[in-house]
């Protein structure tokens, strides 16, 4: 009986920590994604200003 309870508790602990890990990875991915979108928009604006002769 104790072995079954131990396995049940270990299973719950492992699944909870993995859910937290997935959540942390998702939050990091969202942050990196937002950064990349801002970077790409900045590069596009830079290219458009250079092509259209901005700053002359």
The three-state DSSP-derived secondary structure of the chain is: CHHHHHHHHHHHHHHHHHHHHHHHHHHHHHHHHHHHHHHHHHHHHHHHHHHCCCCC
- Write down the pLDDT at residue 55: 57
- Write down the pLDDT at residue 54: 63
Condensed to tens digits (0 to 9), the pLDDT of residues 1-56 reads 888 888 877 777 677 666 777 788 888 889 899 999 999 999 999 999 999 886 55
Domain assignment of residue 37, given as a range: 1-56
- Write down the pLDDT at residue 18: 67
- Write down the pLDDT at residue 37: 95
- Write down the pLDDT at residue 16: 66
What's the total number of domains in the chain?
1
């Amino acid at each position: 009986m104790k072995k079954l309870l131990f396995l049940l508790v270990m299973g719950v602990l492992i699944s909870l920590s993995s859910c937290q890990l997935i959540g942390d990875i998702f939050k990091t991915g969202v942050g990196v994604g937002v950064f990349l979108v801002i970077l790409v928009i900045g590069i596009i604006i830079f290219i458009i200003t250079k092509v259209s002769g901005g700053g002359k």
